[in-house]
Amino acid sequence: MSRTPKLTDRKALETHRARAARAPVTFLHEVVAEALTERLGEVNKTFKKPLLVGHITPPFVQAFPDAPRIDDAPELVITKAAQDLVLHLFGLHWADDPVGQMVQSRLALAPDGLFIGVMFGGATLNELRSAMAEAEAKLTGGLSPRILPMGDLRDLGGLLQRAGFALPVADSETYRVRYPNLAKLTTDLRGMGETNALADRLRTPANRAFFAETETIYRQNFSDEGYLLASFEVIFLTGWAPSADQPQPLRPGSATTRLAEALGVPETKLDDPPG
């Protein structure tokens, strides 16, 4: 029996999130909470039984005050078919088995219930990732895992289908933030609970020379008017629990109207292929 590779040190992640709760940095979560509210307002449905899963910070609690909240542990504490909305918040990029998280979320939904997963995508912190890699290679001649690997939009959208959701949609927003220095960016990552919790991370803290070299390279390649530029790609994964009431694709060959007729243009037939 194969086992899912371990990506995340869950104990370290929980420690980082607890530390972040004491001095939270939530500007991205505020933007996302507002975006979720707007997206749900565009859906022609009233949700009465929402569930929040994952890294749930004050902006999400304020936006959905009556929703129960659970941790994004490998095994979610759910009741099957009990919810009409599941919001999985900033936990899927840390999941060893993101498809498993989505499947469990789908099982928590009643038919025609809505799932929205919010996670960081592959463009997140690409500037910091590049600067750290170059600095470490220069100083030590090697590389070590320092920033979580994150998926791209196309691959992550495919996970919705694998998890059994109907009408899957994946889209993203990229937010670029300016920082006066590397220390401020690091402080914000701590306040987000998004510092290194990789299972294979180095356990020895990096020295000052490494951070100094990283900042030098960062400024040379990713700065604007003296500020360091940092990208945060937020991916929204949307899918519905299957229901007989949902629109279904037509069976191939069942069309009753020709495309040319629908478009109002002459139809040109191809010649029969030779013999």
For residues 54 and 72, the answer to whether their CB atoms sit within 8 Å is: yes
Q: Which amino acid is at 173?
A: E
Residue 1 lies in a domain: no
Sequence-ordered list of residues with C-beta below 8 angstroms from that of 168, at least 6 positions apart, any chain: 157, 160, 161, 237, 238, 239
Whether 270 maps to a domain, the answer reads no
The residue ranking higher by pLDDT, 247 or 181, is 181
Residue 269 resides in a domain: no
Average pLDDT estimate for 43-56: 96
Domain count within the chain: 1
Q: Measured between alpha carbons, how far apart are the two ends of the chain, in Å?
A: 54
pTM: 0.87
Read off the pLDDT of each residue in 142-170 and give the average, rounded to a whole number. 93
pLDDT the model gives residue 19? 97
Model pLDDT, residue 198? 96
CA triple 214-121-72, angle to 5 deg? 110
164 inside domain: yes
Is 36 a member of any domain?
yes
Higher pLDDT, 197 or 246: 197
Asked whether residue 162 is assigned to any structural domain, the reply reads yes
User: What's the pLDDT tens digit per position in 95-145?
Assistant: 999 999 999 999 999 999 999 999 999 999 999 999 999 999 999 998 888
**Token pair belonging to 161:** 């289908």
User: What are the DSSP E strand ranges found in the chain?
Assistant: 50-54, 69-70, 83-89, 109-120, 166-179, 223-224, 227-240
2 within domain boundaries: no
Structure tokens at 21: 């709760």
Task: Read off the CATH number of the domain in which 248 is found.
Answer: 3.40.50.150
Task: Kindly tell me if the per-residue pLDDT of 263 is higher than 80.
Answer: no
Domain ranges, residue 94: 10-263
Three-state secondary-structure class, residue 29: helix
Confidence tier at 1 by pLDDT (50, 70, 90): very low
For residues 126 and 234, what is the distance between their CA atoms, to the nearest angstrom?
Answer: 13
**pLDDT at site 273:** 52
- β-partners of residue 115 are 86, 239
Is residue 81's pLDDT more than 90? yes
Tokens of 111: 């038919």
Here the tokens at position 15 are 């420690």
